[in-house]
Amino acid sequence: MIRIQLVLMLSLLFSSSFGQDIDFKKGVVLINGKECMKMSKEDAVSISFTDMEGNDMIFLRFIHNSKFGKLYNKVTFIDQKISFTSQSYIYTKKLLIKKLIINNVIQDCRINLESLEKFILKYDENIEEL
Protein backbone atom coordinates (compact mmCIF):
# COMPACT_ATOMS: atom_id res chain seq x y z
CA MET A 1 0.00 0.00 0.00
CA ILE A 2 2.81 2.40 0.87
CA ARG A 3 4.46 1.56 -2.43
CA ILE A 4 1.34 2.55 -4.38
CA GLN A 5 1.07 5.82 -2.48
CA LEU A 6 4.73 6.57 -3.14
CA VAL A 7 4.31 5.90 -6.87
CA LEU A 8 1.21 8.13 -7.00
CA MET A 9 2.96 10.95 -5.13
CA LEU A 10 6.02 10.78 -7.40
CA SER A 11 3.90 10.77 -10.55
CA LEU A 12 1.97 13.82 -9.30
CA LEU A 13 5.23 15.56 -8.47
CA PHE A 14 6.71 14.94 -11.92
CA SER A 15 3.52 15.86 -13.76
CA SER A 16 3.13 19.11 -11.84
CA SER A 17 6.79 20.08 -12.23
CA PHE A 18 6.22 20.53 -15.96
CA GLY A 19 3.20 22.81 -16.14
CA GLN A 20 2.82 22.83 -19.92
CA ASP A 21 0.45 20.45 -21.67
CA ILE A 22 1.74 19.64 -25.16
CA ASP A 23 -0.48 17.84 -27.62
CA PHE A 24 -0.31 17.06 -31.34
CA LYS A 25 -3.62 16.87 -33.21
CA LYS A 26 -4.07 16.74 -36.97
CA GLY A 27 -0.80 18.51 -37.67
CA VAL A 28 -1.30 21.22 -35.03
CA VAL A 29 0.82 21.66 -31.90
CA LEU A 30 -1.34 22.62 -28.93
CA ILE A 31 0.28 24.11 -25.85
CA ASN A 32 -2.08 24.24 -22.89
CA GLY A 33 -4.96 23.76 -25.33
CA LYS A 34 -3.98 26.75 -27.48
CA GLU A 35 -3.11 26.19 -31.13
CA CYS A 36 0.47 27.35 -31.29
CA MET A 37 2.19 25.84 -34.33
CA LYS A 38 1.60 23.60 -37.28
CA MET A 39 3.67 20.49 -37.79
CA SER A 40 4.23 18.43 -40.90
CA LYS A 41 6.41 15.47 -41.79
CA GLU A 42 8.62 16.33 -44.72
CA ASP A 43 9.73 12.71 -45.14
CA ALA A 44 10.48 9.72 -42.90
CA VAL A 45 13.28 11.57 -41.06
CA SER A 46 12.26 15.25 -41.11
CA ILE A 47 9.61 17.33 -39.35
CA SER A 48 8.81 21.00 -40.01
CA PHE A 49 7.18 23.34 -37.53
CA THR A 50 5.54 26.54 -38.77
CA ASP A 51 3.64 29.30 -37.06
CA MET A 52 -0.14 29.30 -37.52
CA GLU A 53 0.25 31.51 -40.61
CA GLY A 54 2.50 28.91 -42.25
CA ASN A 55 5.87 30.69 -41.80
CA ASP A 56 8.77 28.28 -41.20
CA MET A 57 10.03 28.19 -37.62
CA ILE A 58 11.86 24.95 -36.78
CA PHE A 59 13.16 22.03 -38.83
CA LEU A 60 13.97 18.75 -37.02
CA ARG A 61 15.96 16.08 -38.86
CA PHE A 62 17.07 12.62 -37.75
CA ILE A 63 20.35 11.73 -39.43
CA HIS A 64 21.40 8.05 -39.61
CA ASN A 65 24.74 6.46 -40.41
CA SER A 66 26.63 9.55 -41.49
CA LYS A 67 30.36 10.05 -41.17
CA PHE A 68 29.65 12.01 -37.95
CA GLY A 69 27.82 9.26 -36.07
CA LYS A 70 25.28 6.47 -36.26
CA LEU A 71 22.30 8.61 -35.23
CA TYR A 72 21.93 12.23 -34.30
CA ASN A 73 19.47 15.13 -34.54
CA LYS A 74 19.91 18.39 -36.34
CA VAL A 75 17.51 21.15 -35.34
CA THR A 76 17.41 24.33 -37.39
CA PHE A 77 15.65 27.55 -36.41
CA ILE A 78 14.83 28.97 -39.81
CA ASP A 79 14.34 32.73 -39.22
CA GLN A 80 17.27 32.92 -36.80
CA LYS A 81 19.53 30.93 -39.15
CA ILE A 82 20.83 28.94 -36.17
CA SER A 83 21.08 25.18 -35.83
CA PHE A 84 22.40 22.64 -33.38
CA THR A 85 23.17 18.93 -33.41
CA SER A 86 22.76 16.38 -30.67
CA GLN A 87 23.84 12.76 -30.51
CA SER A 88 23.62 11.95 -26.81
CA TYR A 89 20.11 13.38 -26.50
CA ILE A 90 17.84 12.33 -29.40
CA TYR A 91 14.92 14.73 -29.69
CA THR A 92 11.46 13.53 -30.61
CA LYS A 93 8.96 16.18 -31.71
CA LYS A 94 7.33 16.30 -28.27
CA LEU A 95 10.61 16.26 -26.37
CA LEU A 96 11.99 19.08 -28.52
CA ILE A 97 8.94 21.30 -27.97
CA LYS A 98 8.94 20.48 -24.24
CA LYS A 99 12.64 21.40 -23.88
CA LEU A 100 12.14 24.63 -25.85
CA ILE A 101 9.26 25.66 -23.60
CA ILE A 102 11.07 24.75 -20.36
CA ASN A 103 14.07 26.82 -21.50
CA ASN A 104 11.84 29.78 -22.51
CA VAL A 105 12.80 29.49 -26.17
CA ILE A 106 9.14 29.25 -27.14
CA GLN A 107 7.14 32.00 -25.48
CA ASP A 108 3.64 32.91 -26.63
CA CYS A 109 4.16 30.70 -29.70
CA ARG A 110 7.21 32.70 -30.82
CA ILE A 111 10.97 32.09 -30.67
CA ASN A 112 12.81 34.14 -28.05
CA LEU A 113 16.25 34.78 -29.59
CA GLU A 114 18.07 35.42 -26.31
CA SER A 115 16.78 32.18 -24.78
CA LEU A 116 17.52 30.33 -28.03
CA GLU A 117 21.17 31.38 -27.92
CA LYS A 118 21.46 30.08 -24.34
CA PHE A 119 19.71 26.85 -25.33
CA ILE A 120 22.16 26.30 -28.19
CA LEU A 121 25.12 26.89 -25.86
CA LYS A 122 23.74 24.29 -23.44
CA TYR A 123 22.72 21.55 -25.84
CA ASP A 124 24.72 21.85 -29.08
CA GLU A 125 27.23 19.03 -29.46
CA ASN A 126 28.73 20.29 -32.74
CA ILE A 127 28.51 16.80 -34.24
CA GLU A 128 29.04 18.00 -37.79
CA GLU A 129 32.14 20.05 -36.91
CA LEU A 130 34.23 17.19 -35.53
List pLDDT tens digits, range 69-108. Answer: 678 999 999 999 999 999 988 899 999 999 999 999 999 9
Return the pLDDT at 12.
Answer: 47
Q: Looking at residues 14-25, what average pLDDT do you find?
A: 68
Return the pLDDT at 67.
Answer: 75
C-alpha distance across the termini of the chain, in Å: 52
**Extents of the domains making up the chain:** 20-129
Q: Which amino acid type is present at position 4?
A: I
Residues 61 and 45 sit within 8 Å (Cβ to Cβ): yes
Q: Which amino acid type is present at position 19?
A: G
Is 80 exceeded by the pLDDT of residue 117?
A: yes
